[in-house]
Amino acid sequence: MIDLDDLDRAMLRALALDGGLSAGELGRRLGLSQPAAWRRQKRLEEAGVIKGLRLEVDRTALGFGVTVFLGVKLAAKGRVSLEDFERAVVAIPEVQVVQHVLGLFDYRLRVVARDIADFERVLRRRIMTLPGVGNVEANVLLTEERRAGPIG
């Protein structure tokens, strides 16, 4: 874990909102020279604090009007391997997120579809046929908001 000062935190906040900022623009906002801003950004990337970039798109504008979160319970734990389930589920193009969780479900999935009929197709043909899949709960996403989190 690296030590972060106030400027690092301000930089993280700025980049979390706009990851495409140039070192020059970052420097202007933080009162640093362009090379100093660049060095700090590189240091944050090399320390792994910044994992990478995420491209945010308007999924509806691109024809994917439905996003559904699925809670999946595996049917027969012990008999089916988690690896088999995971290998199959990550290969489904409509599945964007797969998280192994502890609680009411074993996995959380984020699934995108063109519309409800398309979602039903993905659910029946792709999800319900996964190895070991048991109970599935679906919640249709209405709004989502990413917060900056506890930075400084």
DSSP state of 77: B
What residues contact residue 67 under an 8 Å CB cut-off, 6+ apart? 59, 110, 111, 112, 113, 140, 141
What residues contact residue 123 under an 8 Å CB cut-off, 6+ apart? 70, 111, 136, 138
Q: Count of CB atoms within 10 A of residue 62's CB?
A: 10
Binding mask 57-86 for other proteins (x = CB under 8 A): xxx-xxxx----x-x--------------x
The residue whose two tokens read 């060095």 is: 39
Nearer residue to other proteins within complex by CB, 36 or 82: 82
17 binds other proteins (CB under 8 A): yes
55 binds other proteins (CB under 8 A): yes
142 binds other proteins (CB under 8 A): yes
117 binds other proteins (CB under 8 A): no
56 binds other proteins (CB under 8 A): yes
Binding region for other proteins (CB under 8 A): 1-2, 4, 12, 15-20, 47-59, 61-64, 69, 71, 86, 89-90, 93-105, 108, 112, 137-151
